[in-house]
Amino acid sequence: MIKIQKDYSEKKVQLVALNSNNSYLSPADTYAEMVLRNQEKSFNFPYIKDEDRTVARAYGALCTPHVFLLDEERRLRYRGRIDDSRNPERVTVNDLRNAIEDLTANRPVRVSETTPFGCSIVW
């Protein structure tokens, strides 16, 4: 995500990471732990807490990461995974990058939905 933000910032693309995990059930996802993770990873995008999971529910998020790409008018244009593999060496399709490329080139997004994979959201 850091690389994607860096690569597309000049095209006015803004990533936002949203942590919707229940902090009571997942202590690693408290706001204090998020601040430490942000400092450790040097995120170049906002990393915010969806404390009551309202946003995750509204978009139908299933896991982390589950990405949602919105256009300038905040219309959903892509939802799904970042890439087709968690292992960078096995990635053959950059789904989010492809959707961003289409959107920033004023083309319809060729693949508007993929199946996300990752850890389940701790509701």
Q: Exposed, middle or buried: residue 117 (CB in 10 Å: 0-12, 13-18, 19+)?
A: middle
pLDDT in tens, 12-70: 999 999 999 999 999 999 999 999 999 999 999 999 999 999 999 999 999 999 999 99
> Residue 92 sits in which domain range?
2-120
CATH number at residue 52: 3.40.30.10
| Whether the Cβ atoms of residue 78 and residue 112 lie closer than 8 Å to each other | yes
Split at pLDDT 50, 70, 90, the class of 10 is very high
What's the total number of domains in the chain? Answer: 1
Q: What is the pLDDT of residue 11?
A: 96
How large is the average pLDDT for residues 98-122? 97
